[in-house]
Copies of this chain bind each other. A is one copy, B any other.
Amino acid sequence: MADHNALPLVILAEKFASLPGIGMKSAQRLAYHVMSMETAAVEEFAQALIDAKKNVRSCSCCQNLTEREICPICDDSERDKSVICVVESPKDVTAFERTREYNGVYHVLHGLLSPMDGITPDKLRVKELLARIAQGAVEEVIMATNPTVEGDATAMYVANLLKPLGIKVTRLAFGLPVGGILEYADEITLFKALENRNDM
């Protein structure tokens, strides 16, 4: 925005533009939209940003984002703790929960291996997964990373760590469109992929 624009608006537009998928033009529109919102609504928005950052942490068990020490899934006595579904991100947990067909628990890696981008195994929550398995109750680990190069590499890496421990390691069936993004799969495709999982 040119310098005839009010500085706080320019700053706000820049903040919006720093978010993924929002260009400068949209950011400007959003900043103008904020001006037309009620003061109370703007304050609630600001508070929601701060609350989410301050009050949401990783579950000490599965590493999914939660506001408690242990997330509701890990804390649910009805869930089968002997099966762990390993995913890249919290979005993927949401995708699986939508199928309403999975009754095990999760482990969120918070990323995929990508040595070119400096994402080595120590950057992922792999240690935490090994610690859970060391407790002994786990029978199967389902590798549910995206069917991409990084997703496959990560699944292979984790599988190679776990197999010597005598854990059954499976991979989602390639009912998923190869090269696609797990998060956008429809419920049935995702359920089929879960049902036809293979040993690896």
Kindly provide the distance from the CB of A21 to the nearest chain B CB, expressed in whole angstroms.
6
**Stretch among A35-43, A145-153, A168-176 lining the B interface:** A35-43
Which B residues are CB-close (under 8 A) to A90? 5, 32
Q: Which residue of B is nearest A71, CB measured?
A: B4
**Stretch among A48-56, A114-122, A130-138, A192-200 lining the B interface:** A48-56
Which single member of B30, B44, B65 contacts A9 (CB below 8 Å)? B65
Sort chain A's interface into a size bin.
35 or more
Contact B20 A29 (CB under 8 A): yes
Does chain B have a CB within 8 A of A156?
no
Which B residues are CB-close (under 8 A) to A158? none
Q: Which residue of B is nearest A89, CB measured?
A: B32
Contact A67 B4 (CB under 8 A): no
Which B residues are CB-close (under 8 A) to A11? 48, 51-52
Which B residues are CB-close (under 8 A) to A12? 48-49, 51-52
Does chain B have a CB within 8 A of A6?
yes
Kindly provide the distance from the CB of A89 to the nearest chain B CB, expressed in whole angstroms.
7
Contact B65 A6 (CB under 8 A): yes
Q: Known: A26-B21, A28-B91, A91-B29. Is A34-B6 also a contact (CB below 8 A)?
A: no
- State A35–B3 Cα separation when bound (angstroms): 32
Which B residues are CB-close (under 8 A) to A53? 34-35, 37, 39, 42-43
Contact B26 A30 (CB under 8 A): no
Q: Which residue of B is nearest A57, CB measured?
A: B6
Q: Which 4 A-B residue pairs are closest in the complex by CB-CB distance? A: A46-B46, A12-B52, A42-B53, A8-B52
Q: Which residues of A contact B (CB under 8 A)?
A: 1-9, 11-12, 15, 19-21, 26, 28-35, 37, 39, 42-56, 64-67, 71-73, 89-91, 93-94, 97-98
